Amino acid sequence: MTKPCIICVAITGSLPRKSDNPAVPVTISEQVESTHAAYEAGATICHAHVRDDDQNPTSDPERYLRLFDGVRAHCPDMVFQVSTGGRAAAGRDRGGMLAMRPDMASLSVGSNNFPGRVYENPPDLVDWLAAEMRRHQIKPEIEAFDLSHIFKAAEMNADGRIPGDIYIQFVMGVKNAMPVDRPAFDFFVQTTRRLMPGAEWCAAGIGRHQLTINDWSIAAGGHARTGLEDNIRLDRDTLAPSNAALVRRVAELCDRHGRPVATPAQTRAILGLRPAA
């Protein structure tokens, strides 16, 4: 298998805090620096959340723009992906940063449980976020927390609400959502291929499952996500020293499976993104 593997680094997230691992970047300058190091280690997509001055998640478009500008200045061809997830804001405030036209944005197309609450994605909000992404020519990354989300993505692809080839990510290992389960993972891949033959897919494993899911995805021809948003440890006893360290671990796995790590240009071509500005 020689298809290049795209490595996405989820640098910050809305849950892990500096007190959990001091390497979690929270200020804009820390985020830019951490992204740059991860880029040099092989990551070509930066999945970003921003924090306010008290380290709480926010969807403030101005903060997102500052981060976007900082990443563009240091890593000009890196793909920038914003989160429209529900921890930083509610309703249409979740998509306020889309007007700045990042390359990509996460899009959850259905609801499920999270560790302490319901992750609500009502159909009208999903349609609105998808419409904003079409309007600003932003490629969605579908976050599939459940099998029904794969079917929903296929439906929205078929009727044009999500145009072009789908990029979908399977998220496994979130408490109260989909566990890390090999037959279920294989069925997700199989179902995606059956419903959306042109789709590219990726997978994210949360916490101690990160490396397991990386290994399964890379071996099965998918792409890989890592980063301190999903996991703050190298192993049970060792905190990850940086996002770059987690990226290097995935690049080594790619090597072991005979998959080259995708360059920024290959990443943009595989995902059908516009060239870097």
Residues that bind Zn ion (CB under 5 A): 83
Nearer to Zn ion, 42 or 85 (CB): 85
Closest separation in Å from C-beta 84 to Zn ion:
9
Closest separation in Å from C-beta 124 to Zn ion:
22
Closest separation in Å from C-beta 258 to Zn ion:
29
Cβ neighbours for 153, distance < 8 A, ≥ 6 positions apart: 109, 142, 144, 162, 166, 168, 196
Closest separation in Å from C-beta 81 to Zn ion:
9
Which residues are registered as beta bridge partners of 106? 141
Closest separation in Å from C-beta 256 to Zn ion:
27
What is the chain's length? 277
User: Half-sphere exposure (CA, 13 Å, Cβ side) for 131?
Assistant: 7
Nearer to Zn ion, 121 or 259 (CB): 121
Return the residue nearest Zn ion (CB atom): 83
Place of tokens 């892990």: 16
Nearer to Zn ion, 149 or 259 (CB): 149
Nearest to 143 by CA among 117, 175, 93, 108: 108
Specify the 3-state DSSP secondary structure of 81.
strand
Nearer to Zn ion, 3 or 18 (CB): 18
Side chain identity at residue 112, one-letter code:
N
Contact 228, 14 (CB under 8 A): no
Nearer to Zn ion, 228 or 270 (CB): 228
Place of tokens 């995708």: 262
Q: How far is it between the farthest Cα atoms of the chain?
A: 48
CA 4 to chain CA centroid, nearest Å = 17
Nearer to Zn ion, 117 or 193 (CB): 117
32: left (phi over 0), alpha (psi -120 to 50) or beta: alpha
Closest separation in Å from C-beta 45 to Zn ion:
12
Nearer to Zn ion, 141 or 200 (CB): 141
b or e along 169-188 (b: 16 or more beta carbons within 10 Å of the residue's beta carbon)? bbbbbbeebbebeeeebeeb
**CA 173 – CA 177 distance, rounded (Å):** 7
Closest separation in Å from C-beta 133 to Zn ion:
16
